[in-house]
Amino acid sequence: MTAHISLYDLLKDSAQHHGDRRAFAQGAKLATYSELLEDVRRAAKRLADSGVRAGERVAVYTGKQYETVVMFLAINARGAILVPINPQLKEQQVRHILLDSGARLLISTGARLRRIEAALNDIELDIWQLEKPQSEALNTLGDAAFFNANTAVTDNDPAAILYTSGSTGRPKGVVLSQRNLVSGAYSVAHYLRLRADDVILGVLPLSFDAGFSQLTTALVSGACYAPLDFLQANEVPTFCEAHGVTVITGVPPLWMQLASVQWPQPAGARIRCFANTGGHMPPPLLEKLKTAFPNALPYLMYGLTEAFRSTYLAPEAAVTRPDSIGKAVPNADIRVMRPNGTECDAGEHGELVHRGAFVTLGYWNDPELTAQRFRPWLHPERQISRAETAVWSGDIVYRDSDDFLYFVARSDDMIKTSGYRVSPTEVEEILFAVDDVTEAAAFGVPHPQQGEAIIISLFAHPHMQTTAQALIKLCRDKLPTYMVPLHVSFHDSPLPRNPNGKIDRKQLKQQFSEFFSTSITVTE
């Protein structure tokens, strides 16, 4: 195991060995590892001078820009806990994360702060505002005196809280340790065979574990991180060509978009590795991407925020087993378990259980849920508890006779759409604020581009005048794009119930299972 304890250690190591290599590239903004380290030290010094202490939470609500990277690493250097907030989130979701995490400081931009102004009125926290132009933004971070990290950080100390939707209620904060981040970076960089001359496209949100990994794997390999916030898919090939991108990780809906645009061969031919996460990659889509990237190796990955990355399907196996989620990544031990804690036989369905260096510290402020999902590891044969924790994923899988794993289904009601996990409750609570809505149920059904699309079933007062279109617009105003339902169905009677008296989502899902086309098509 590496002696590096924190992401700040990884940065210092890359600055020592690759100081003159490019660490960051985005349009005209370029920075070497030596320059990045200096800016991180300056920012960390300001955090220290402002009284931010180790263990305090610092939230960052910005787009993907140089200052964002600097602040992520400066927070880590200070020993504080990073709380990245997806820039797609709006007032209600941001407020919940700030309150739940107990953030001491919020770092954002003027435009984003104005968007959530009402949510901040009664929250006690400091606010730092970063403004463009980028070349001037860091001038407010203090003098050039180097910051010397004197905080005693251990590999088990909390380093970040990533908020992910739970099956009930609001988003839950998953607490990642320093060890989780460093071990995960080494593992992914190893099996993707990353090199110091790689340019890694940062196209996923940094609040998403896979998006964060694009930055951390660049650090561990001395590669260049090239982030992009785009509006149109045809912007991506242009950006990749301009910056010499060699590695891309995406989610299926993004790959659907990228497969539908033209890739000029200087850009497409330069890609040597592309990876999928956040959902199944349909074989026709995989073939389309192989054509766009003729020199690239595909890696199909599976993971959960609670354990970062669990399995991957190596390029050679993707040809013979395209439906598999592969085998365990380095530094992970993956088992298929029965409810009684014994291990399943080949071909037998069970719950995926993950143990090893990537298992996170649990859920922030939720010891009950933590105890349910994070359990002491029992040796499957001898039922002897070891001094470590395993996470029970909630995903049903099986393994074949060659130990390749296959995903079957989720064991809860989570909606997995466009690479995101969405809690039905987050969508439903928007509808419950509407007069005359009596019952509301959100659920996901198969969709050819999004994986699952969100449908709302409503039972309302017969005199209700609000239309389905108006309700969808309300959701669009209150929720990030990926949470907005595509269809609202009005019911004349109360929604179906299961034997426990709860709304029967399974019955609703079956009723609408063919509402959208289930065939996967890729635009030629």
Give 339-363 pLDDT, tens digit per residue. 988 999 999 999 999 999 999 999 9
Tokens of 170: 């609001």
Please tell me the predicted confidence (pLDDT) of residue 333.
Answer: 95
Please tell me the predicted confidence (pLDDT) of residue 506.
Answer: 85
Please tell me the predicted confidence (pLDDT) of residue 2.
Answer: 46
Which of 489, 426, 490, 430 minimizes the C-alpha distance to 460?
490
Please tell me the predicted confidence (pLDDT) of residue 454.
Answer: 96
Q: Residue 57 pairs with which residues in a beta bridge?
A: 81
Average pLDDT over residues 107-136: 84
What is the rounded distance in angstroms from the CA atom of residue 84 to the CA atom of residue 64? 11
Please tell me the predicted confidence (pLDDT) of residue 135.
Answer: 38
73 pLDDT higher than 90: yes
Please tell me the predicted confidence (pLDDT) of residue 72.
Answer: 98
Please tell me the predicted confidence (pLDDT) of residue 148.
Answer: 59
| Weakest-pLDDT range from 114-118, 285-289, 331-335, 380-384 | 380-384
Please tell me the predicted confidence (pLDDT) of residue 437.
Answer: 87
Domain map (residue ranges) of the chain: 1-7+18-177, 231-411, 415-512
409 pLDDT higher than 80: no
Q: 1-7+18-177 and 231-411 share one CATH topology? A: yes
149 pLDDT higher than 60: no
CATH class of 1-7+18-177: alpha beta
| Weakest-pLDDT range from 99-103, 431-435, 452-456 | 431-435
Helix (H/G/I), strand (E/B), else coil: 65? coil
Mean pLDDT score across all residues of the chain: 89
DSSP label at residue 492: S
| pTM of the shown model | 0.84
Please tell me the predicted confidence (pLDDT) of residue 8.
Answer: 96
52 pLDDT higher than 90: yes
Local confidence band at 195 (pLDDT 50, 70, 90 cut-offs): very high
* Fold assignment, 415-512: GMP Synthetase; Chain A, domain 3 (3.30.300)
206 pLDDT higher than 90: yes
Please tell me the predicted confidence (pLDDT) of residue 280.
Answer: 79
Looking at the chain, the whole-number percentage of residues with pLDDT higher than 70 is 90
Please tell me the predicted confidence (pLDDT) of residue 1.
Answer: 41
Please tell me the predicted confidence (pLDDT) of residue 519.
Answer: 45
Local confidence band at 68 (pLDDT 50, 70, 90 cut-offs): very high
18 pLDDT higher than 90: yes
Please tell me the predicted confidence (pLDDT) of residue 44.
Answer: 95
Average pLDDT over residues 330-339: 94
What CATH code is assigned to 231-411? 3.40.50.12780
Among 278-287, 373-382, 470-479, top mean pLDDT goes to 470-479
Please tell me the predicted confidence (pLDDT) of residue 138.
Answer: 56
What is the rounded distance in angstroms from the CA atom of residue 476 to the CA atom of residue 90? 10
Average pLDDT over residues 205-230: 96
Average pLDDT over residues 8-26: 97
Local confidence band at 283 (pLDDT 50, 70, 90 cut-offs): confident
Which of 355, 367, 473, 369 minimizes the C-alpha distance to 412?
369
Please tell me the predicted confidence (pLDDT) of residue 143.
Answer: 52
Distances (CA, A) of 232 to 111, 150, 237, 238, 285: 21, 45, 11, 11, 19
Distances (CA, A) of 257 to 173, 193, 270, 338, 418: 30, 26, 19, 39, 11
Local confidence band at 102 (pLDDT 50, 70, 90 cut-offs): very high
Please tell me the predicted confidence (pLDDT) of residue 140.
Answer: 53
* 315 and 299 Cβ atoms separated by less than 8 Å: yes
464 pLDDT higher than 60: yes
